[in-house]
Structures are given as C-alpha cells and as structure tokens.
Amino acid sequence: MSRAVLVLRPEPGASATAERARRLGLEPVVAPLFKVRPLAWEAPGRPGLDGILLTSAHAPRQAGPLLEQYLHLPCHAVGEATAAAAAQAGFADVRAGPRDAAALLATMGKSRLLHLCGRDHLSLERTEVELVRRIVYAADAVDALPAEARRMLASGGLVLLHSPRAARTFAALVDAAGLPRARVAVAAISAAAAAAAGGGWSRIESAAHPRDEALLELAAELCQTERQVRE
C-alpha cells in the first residue's frame, strides 16, 4: 500500500487532518464529501437557559451574530475540536466533554440547554436535560468524488472516515462511480463509522479512540503493515 490517504472531512478540518498526516509521513489527498453552509435560525422565545450544547465544531463557526447573546453562558462541547471552536467563537466558559454526545449528557444533572447543531444530527434524549434545538448549518453532500480521488481509489488506496454519515456517503459514491471496493482499505474513526461503511473493502479497521490523531496513527500502521507484507 502506498502512503497516500484520502481525506474526506469538510474544511477546515480537512486541512488540519492533512497537516497531521504529512507529519506522520503520509501523503494526503483532500476531497471533502460535504460543503458546510450557515442556515437562518431564531433565538428561543422563552428565557431560562442553563447553558449551550455544541456537538460539532461547525455550529459555533456557522451560527452567526445571534450567537453573541449566549457567549456568557457555560458552553458544553463534545470533543476537544468543538471546544476549541467554541473558545474561538468567544465563549469564556467552555467545558469539553467526551466525543460522544450521549456520554456528555449522561454526566449532567437537571438543566435546560440550547443545542446548536447541523441539519443532519443524532437524536439526543435525556430525562434530566431539556434540549432546545436550533439548526444553524447544513452539510450538503457532493454529487461525485473528484477525479483525483477516483484515480487514487482505482489503483488501491486508504480512506479516512470521520463519521457514520461520511461512511455511508463515501460507500454510495464509490459504488456509483463503479470503483471496486475490494481495492480500497478503510480506517474509521469509530466502530459505528466502520459499520456504516458496509462490507467488501480490502480491509477495514477502527481507531482506538474517536479522535483525529488516533485515526491517523491507525492509518500509518495500516500503510506500514501492508508494506511489510509485500516486502
């Protein structure tokens, strides 16, 4: 296997992953599957919020001017990347939690939170936590993989999957392009993402932890293992 890896996550995350990949000696090919854009939203009419819940780094980046009125509230962020984006947006009290949103909510007591999220989001329900949901962005899937990505996959390559939705979208685009799954290896950020990709790949593995750094370490290991086998 070559050192080339296909990076599919949206910007600015794609560039961050590509830079980490280069530091590990990998050769990233960047081809985002989704284009993120802001959506208009309305502030909740009833006051009494105890904080903000952010489950994606895209939410604080795309929320726009309405976000300013909530910057004084505690911000509960899923994962370090989301926490960093919240701090950059102006939140003074950012509390980073597990990368899994359900796990984060499980640590919280009775409260009422404004959940700023994307149009495609997981349903989160917890008795102790009342969520007031506002959709502030959309991540629109591309219609086809770009030519560079198709060429790479046709000759055999390794793809990085950062979410179950990315996995499902990628699998559909590979099939639509008539590319053989059996020539493509997959490194998934979680077991859920790996499952969403389906079967038929030359190899599919999940990262030890649901973090970009762990995913790239897995990718480097897969490339090295394949090289040793061929030698």
Q: Which residue has the tokens 């992953």?
A: 17
Q: Is 45 in the same domain as 105? A: yes
Q: Is 40 in the same domain as 124? A: yes
pLDDT in tens, 183-214: 999 999 999 999 999 999 999 999 998 889 99
Instruction: Show Cβ contacts of residue 91 under 8 Å, excluding neighbours closer than 6 positions.
Output: 52, 60, 71, 73, 75
pLDDT of residue 231: 40
Q: CA 123 → CA 5, 81, 118, distances in Å? A: 31, 21, 11
Q: Is 85 in the same domain as 151? A: no
Q: Is 66 in the same domain as 113? A: yes
pLDDT of residue 172: 97
- Identity at 34, one-letter amino acid code: F
Q: Which of 140, 161, 180 is the last residue of a domain?
A: 140
User: Shortest CA distance to 3 belongs to which of 228, 224, 229?
Assistant: 224
pLDDT of residue 98: 76
Specify the pTM: 0.86
Q: Let me know: does 17 contact 212? Beta carbons within 8 Å.
A: yes
Residue spans of the chain under pLDDT 50: 228-231
Q: Is 22 in the same domain as 46? A: no
Q: Which of 140, 159, 176 is the last residue of a domain?
A: 140
Q: Which two tokens stand for residue 178?
A: 């008539």
pLDDT of residue 170: 98
Domain count along the chain: 2
CATH assignment at residue 200: 3.40.50.10090
pLDDT of residue 210: 85
pLDDT of residue 84: 94
Distance CA 64, CA 40 (A): 9
pLDDT of residue 230: 44
- Residue 117's DSSP bridge partners are 135
Domain of residue 220 covers 4-33+143-230
